[in-house]
Amino acid sequence: MIDYMMAQNYSANSIRNYVHSFNLFQRVTQYQNPDTLTEIQIVKHLAGMNEKGLSASSLNLLINALKYYFRTVLKRDGFDIRIPRPRKEHHLPTVLTMEECARIFSFVENPKHKLLLLMGYGAGLRRSEIVQLRWEDILFDEHKIHVRQSKGNKDRIVMLPYSIVVSLNDYRVLYPSNDWVFAGQYKGEALSGRTVQTVMRNAVIKAGLEKRATVHTLRHSFATHLLETGTDIRYIQQLLGHSSIKTTMVYTHITPKAARNIISPLDMIQPDMIKKSKPE
């Protein structure tokens, strides 16, 4: 399955998720040869996994992985899994305040580790996007970052925060031979996503925050803070790389501050009346 997905330019993350889901299914079937499984048997196994508490998102991913394997790898064109798709749980993302973000950054002493967290928050990058950054992607003169082959295999341009340019240049001088902005332990390798998550977790603990904050929380916070300061939601959609505005709209549910700042157009053309109606 891996070879097929690589040939079709699936992202490394998609391949990893599909393979993990497929391996999970094989354990449930006690490693029965998947070629011999009927669609009825597959549905029974899926129903059993659902009853045992497999999350809706994990079950949906598994169904997609199985369909890909049987249709693409085994060439079963008529293969179908007739099982109601579980509704994915919708949870509002955890968001940090600007003060909490600043506190987290203040507890990171390693320059490299601090920069990768600053990039995650300052440009709204995913963890995978942070570790895949190369120096050629940092457009210093334009104060932009070229994010390549992100989720959905789409490139996008995001902002390079002015406040980290000097630190980023100083950091680059220390590692002039690396192509990766955040190089890994071994030559030629990028830093692992797991390391980035560990850096974030340690910083959150040192900062004494009770919120369960991950690197992706910085991305959520980036979007929310932009919305609170009046940035158009469609521009935020572009910065985040969301294919659908519906994905970005979730941030409107977690930022009452933005709603409080909305001004009626009538108040804009009658500013004097506002003063009269407001209590002293």
Q: Which CATH superfamily is domain 2-73 in?
A: Tyrosine recombinase, N-terminal domain (1.10.150.130)
Active-site residue flag, 10: no
- Predicted local confidence at residue 269, as pLDDT: 63
Known catalytic residue at 216: yes
As annotated, the residues of the chain forming the CATH 1.10.443.10 domain(s) are 98-260
Q: Which of 114, 219, 220, 225 is catalytic?
A: 219
Residue 255 has pLDDT above 80, yes or no: no
Output the pTM of the full model.
Answer: 0.69
Residue 147 pLDDT grade (very low, low, confident, very high; cuts 50, 70, 90): very high
Residue 272 has pLDDT above 80, yes or no: no
Across residues 242-263, what is the average pLDDT?
Answer: 74
Point out the catalytic residue in the list 113, 220, 225, 242: 242
Architecture of domain 98-260: Orthogonal Bundle (1.10)
Q: Kindly name the residue from 20, 45, 146, 151 that is annotated as catalytic.
A: 151
Q: Where in the chain is the domain with CATH 1.10.150.130?
A: 2-73
Residue 171 is a catalytic residue: no
Phi-psi label, residue 17: left if phi above 0, alpha if psi -120 to 50, beta otherwise: alpha
* Higher per-residue pLDDT: 10 or 129: 129
- Whether the pLDDT of residue 200 is over 70: the answer is yes
| pLDDT given for residue 85 in this prediction | 64
Residue 129 has pLDDT above 90, yes or no: yes
Residue 274 has pLDDT above 70, yes or no: no
- Distances 108 to 14, 117, 198 between C-alpha atoms, Å: 31, 9, 12
At 241, the amino acid letter reads: G
| pLDDT value of position 187 | 81
What is the per-residue pLDDT for 160? Answer: 93
Q: Is 260 a catalytic residue?
A: no
* Bigger pLDDT: 75 vs 178: 75
- Which residues does residue 134 pair with via DSSP β-bridges, in sequence order? 180
Percent of the chain with pLDDT over 90: 43
Please, what is the average pLDDT of the chain?
A: 85
Torsion of CA 235, 239, 245, 246, to 10 degrees: -130
Of these residues, 146, 156, 206, 216, which one is catalytic?
216
Q: Does 126 qualify as catalytic in the annotation? A: yes
Angle, vertex CA 163, rays to CA 156 and CA 256, nearest 5 = 70
At position 246, the amino acid (one-letter code) is K
Note whether 81 and 67 are within 8 A (CB): yes
With a cut of 80, say whether residue 139 has pLDDT above it.
yes
The mean pLDDT value for 131-151 works out to 90
Quote the longest CA-to-CA distance of the chain: 79
Indicate the pLDDT class of residue 252, thresholds 50, 70 and 90.
Answer: confident
* pLDDT score for 266: 55
Is residue 237 very low, low, confident or very high in pLDDT (cuts 50, 70, 90)? Answer: very high
pLDDT (mean) for 125-134: 94
pLDDT beyond 80 at 275: no
